[in-house]
Structure 1
Amino acid sequence: MANLSPKITAIIHSGEQQGYVAECVEISVVTQGNTLDEVVNNLKEAVSLHLEGEDPSEFGLVAKPSLQIMFELQLEYA
């Protein structure tokens, strides 16, 4: 049996036009929001819905994985 990951990693970055986009690395979940609070809440809901009624091990995850969120900033310089 393969090692199961204890966490789902999500990366939040600024949207192309406005707001924020969150993308999970281990599972195919992408969501967006106008504020950081909104995108995080949308992300938690989307991940829960994605895993609802599924066996997390099918995605390489432990039974109750945690959600690790990273924020990606674009550097602006002259």
Structure 2
Amino acid sequence: MENSFTAVYEKLDDWYIGYVQELPGANVQERTLEEARESLREAIELILISNRELAEQQLSGKDVVREEINVKL
């Protein structure tokens, strides 16, 4: 599965602050723009994996319908 997100990077003094507009909690602070990009990719992966695991735990034993949904913006 491949998703696209909007990354925003702001230079503050000696740091790059990065966050993802569509994913609250995905934010980083690094010395270089490239480090911020890589850290933000990792943050996105970790958040999505964690959210999926939490949802799996909450749905365990419940009668649910699970399906993929595509949205084009």
Fold equivalence (TM over 0.5): yes
Paired residue total? 52
Identity %: 25
In the TM superposition, structure 1's runs of 4+ consecutive aligned residues that sit over 3 Å from their partners are none
Q: Is 1:22 paired with 2:2?
A: no
**Structure having the higher Rg:** 2
> Whole-Å Cα distance in 1 between the matches of residues 30 and 50 of structure 2?
25
Matches within 5 A, 1:67-78: none
- In the superposition, the TM-score normalised over structure 2's length comes to 0.59
Q: Which runs of 5+ in 1 are unaligned?
A: 1-5, 56-61, 64-78
CA RMSD of aligned residues (A): 2.4
Q: Which runs of 5+ in 2 are unaligned?
A: 53-67
- In the superposition, the TM-score normalised over structure 1's length comes to 0.56
